[in-house]
Structure 1
Amino acid sequence: MAAAHEIPKVLGQLPSAVVTKHLSRGIQTGDEAPPTATLLKSAVQKDETDARWRVGPVRDLLVEAMERFDERPATADGWLAPRLHATLRMSRSEAADDEMWNHLAFIVAPDYVVWRHKNAGLVQSARFTGPHYTQAFSRLWWAAELFRNSDDYRPVELACTVQDVLNTTMRLDIIDHRPTAQAVLRVLRNLITEDTPRLGDQVNALSSAINAAGSTLVYDVLAPDAPIDDEATIEWITDSQIMAPVLWEILPDGPSDGRVPETSIETLASMFGQMLADAPKRKRSRHSSNENIDTV
């Protein structure tokens, strides 16, 4: 980790090319720290007067996560995702800025990336700079954004119990349809209730089935979503100027932008359950099927 005085007070933007240039094997193994002073010369700092970009609350969350889940890093996702989302309050267009996530992963918290994603002695480069479903922090923010039900983050906790939801399901374009996302979690909850083995294989089979069917079935027609209250999201973001740090023992509240219609969730959940029953399951090894193993 960079020395405390080297960590900037606010987030910024760091080009992916800069990360790639300085990402050595020593950094990927955790034996070396990124050259923070050099990197900051290539970074563009965000507005210091905007409270939501302050690094302190994010660092506090990450340190707590590393201490709380020290023995099982993958289990930190369900705790951290909603709290990171509620701390970094922003629009989807702002969250699509890869350079901001680069800055967080490579300058502010490379220690967390190594702790969470070191696998077989090495962290893949995509955990530092990569697509939204792979990059260490972007994947958590988007998991919370895509799987929350209005201000309720409990579905996010459920989504993070099986790594394949983040590694596979979150890659699908159809998951942007809120009833589809909630229906997938409804099927997952049923599988867990029924003590179904190899949940990762089940999730992958379901993801493949609904993605294939999505080319012929129009989910937003079969299960329409309610109008989203964009004003509520704007208000939620604005409140970040006066909000206290999120609590560690209680889930925060997301933006109250409208609940997903229960009838739409049930319609798709029933359909997806049948798709899963008919879908072939590719069996993996016991190790790779472990729900808390971070597979890519």
Structure 2
Amino acid sequence: MRELVDEAMNRFDEARTDADAWLAPRLHATLRMTRGEAADPGLWNFLALAVAPDYVLWRHLPLGGTADDPKKVSGVRFVGPHYSQAFSRLWWTAEMFRDGSDYATAEIACGNQDMINTALRLSTIDHKPTALALVRVLEDLSREGATRLGDRVNALCTAVNVAGSTLMYEVIAPDDVPDHLALSDWIEEVESASAVPWDRLPEGPADGTARRSSCEVLTRMFERFAAEAPLRDRARSAAPQD
């Protein structure tokens, strides 16, 4: 764990948010565990407070502080919920957005801060085709050079979450049950596994990939959402309040 965070700080000191996409899949592949184990906040609190508090400060300390107005790291980065805590947010993003043993989609998701900060809060991404379809739309928007990408991601996530309360994505786009035995085998191999590679993505558990047909159905649906979802009116939100 220390080797990973030290390498991340060395590699990304000039662009610290870029460390998320590099560290998340490697953190997940190093800390091999079930979702139940990862739901224990004590683990993440220990990592942030005892193992690598310097990384939390390095990654989340706002820039530009002064002696009169020093910048501070929010306490939730140390002991907050899974979508805010410095290490938990990375592990869970890798878990929710990986496609079986392939972390490529998780790397894309972690490369966009709005995807981590917004999508990770949504219960709908428990459905793997939904999570992967979000990544596909994000990738397409990025490739097309879409303006206000962050606002578009937030608007898309809101639309997906609202629609999910009535559409039931599991019915529209069914998926297979994960192979829990393969996950258990992968976890048990941790003692003999090599350290994760630094210059290529590691391999996750081969517990099954999402149905491609379901991903395609939801991708087309989410593309419509992305095209129609209203963006935040920044001029209005920046106006002084009466």
Please classify the TM superposition score into its range, dividing by the shorter chain length. Answer: over 0.9
Which residue identity lines up with residue 58 of structure 2 in the other structure? W
Could you say which residue in structure 2 is the equivalent of 1:83?
26
Could you say which residue in structure 2 is the equivalent of 1:281?
231
CA distance in 2, matches of 1:284, 1:69: 30
SS in structure 1 at match of 2:165: coil
CA distance in 2, matches of 1:142, 1:182: 14
Could you say which residue in structure 1 is the equivalent of 2:204?
254
CA distance in 2, matches of 1:96, 1:284: 36
The one of 114, 133, 149 equivalent to 1:183 is: 133
CA distance in 2, matches of 1:214, 1:73: 33
Q: How many residues align?
A: 228
The one of 89, 102, 106 equivalent to 1:152 is: 102
SS in structure 2 at match of 1:181: helix
CA offset digits 1:204-251 (Å, max 9, x no partner)? 000100111111101000001122100010000000010111110111
Q: How many percent of aligned residue pairs carry the same amino acid?
A: 55
Q: How well do the aligned residues superpose, as a CA RMSD in angstroms?
A: 1.0
Deviation at 1:284, TM superposition (A): 4.5
**Does structure 1 residue 61 correspond to structure 2 residue 8?**
no
CA distance in 1, matches of 2:132, 2:93: 12
Could you say which residue in structure 2 is the equivalent of 1:208?
158
**Does structure 1 residue 163 correspond to structure 2 residue 106?**
no
Task: Classify 1:93/1:241 alpha carbon distance in 2 versus 1 (closer, same or farther; 3 Å).
Answer: same
Give the gaps of 5 or more residues in structure 1: 1-57, 286-296
Which residue identity lines up with residue 210 of structure 1 in the other structure? V
More displaced stretch, 75-84 vs 194-203? 194-203
Deviation at 1:283, TM superposition (A): 4.6
CA offset digits 1:133-153 (Å, max 9, x no partner)? 000000000000000000000
Give the TM-score, by structure 1 length: 0.76
CA distance in 1, matches of 2:208, 2:77: 32
SS in structure 2 at match of 1:248: coil
Deviation at 1:156, TM superposition (A): 0.9
Give the TM-score, by structure 2 length: 0.92
**Does structure 1 residue 70 correspond to structure 2 residue 13?**
yes
Deviation at 1:276, TM superposition (A): 1.7
Which residue identity lines up with residue 78 of structure 1 in the other structure? A
Could you say which residue in structure 2 is the equivalent of 1:30?
none
The one of 141, 148, 173 equivalent to 1:198 is: 148
More displaced stretch, 187-196 vs 146-155? 187-196
CA offset digits 1:174-196 (Å, max 9, x no partner)? 01100000000011111111111
CA distance in 2, matches of 1:126, 1:250: 31
Deviation at 1:162, TM superposition (A): 1.0
CA distance in 1, matches of 2:149, 2:110: 12
More displaced stretch, 276-285 vs 248-257? 276-285
CA offset digits 1:10-56 (Å, max 9, x no partner)? xxxxxxxxxxxxxxxxxxxxxxxxxxxxxxxxxxxxxxxxxxxxxxx
Task: Classify 1:282/1:232 alpha carbon distance in 2 versus 1 (closer, same or farther; 3 Å).
Answer: same
Equivalent residues in 2 for 1:87-106, closer than 5 Å: 87-106=30-49
Task: Classify 1:169/1:284 alpha carbon distance in 2 versus 1 (closer, same or farther; 3 Å).
Answer: farther
Q: Does the 8 Å contact 1:201/1:283 carry over to 2?
A: no
Deviation at 1:122, TM superposition (A): 1.2
CA distance in 2, matches of 1:250, 1:75: 15
Could you say which residue in structure 1 is the equivalent of 2:84?
134
Give the gaps of 5 or more residues in structure 2: 64-70, 236-242
Deviation at 1:161, TM superposition (A): 1.6
Which residue identity lines up with residue 90 of structure 1 in the other structure? M
Which residue identity lines up with residue 180 of structure 1 in the other structure? T
CA distance in 1, matches of 2:14, 2:227: 35
SS in structure 1 at match of 2:166: coil
CA distance in 1, matches of 2:98, 2:233: 29
